Amino acid sequence: MSAKYITDKKGKKIEVVLSVKDFKKILEELDELACIREFDRVTKRKINLTTAYDFFKKMDAKRG
C-alpha cells in the first residue's frame, strides 16, 4: 500500500491520497473488523434458550 501525503506550509500532514484499490481494501478490512466486533458483542451476552416443547407448554398454560 502506498500513500501520498498532502502537507500544510509547516510540513504537517493534513490529507492522504490513496489509490482506489488501496481505499477499497481498507474499507473491506474495516467492514470485517465491524463484523468481528459485533460477533464478540453478541456472543458475550447470556442467552436463555428453551425447547419448542417447553415454549408451547408455557403458551398453553397462559391460555388457561
> What does the domain layout of the chain look like in residue ranges?
4-63
pLDDT in tens, 4-28: 999 999 999 999 999 999 999 999 9
As a whole number of angstroms, the distance between CA 46 and CA 40 comes to 12
Looking at residue 45, what is its pLDDT?
80
CA atoms within 13 A on the CB side of 30: 6
Cell 428453551 locates to 50
63 pLDDT band, cuts 50/70/90, is: confident
Please tell me which of 29-33, 47-51, 52-56 the model is most confident about, judged by mean pLDDT: 29-33
For position 64, what pLDDT does the model report?
72
| Average confidence score pLDDT of the chain | 92
Q: How far is CA 56 from the centre of its chain?
A: 35
Q: Name the 3-class secondary structure at 23.
A: helix
Distance of CA 37 to the CA centre of its chain: 5
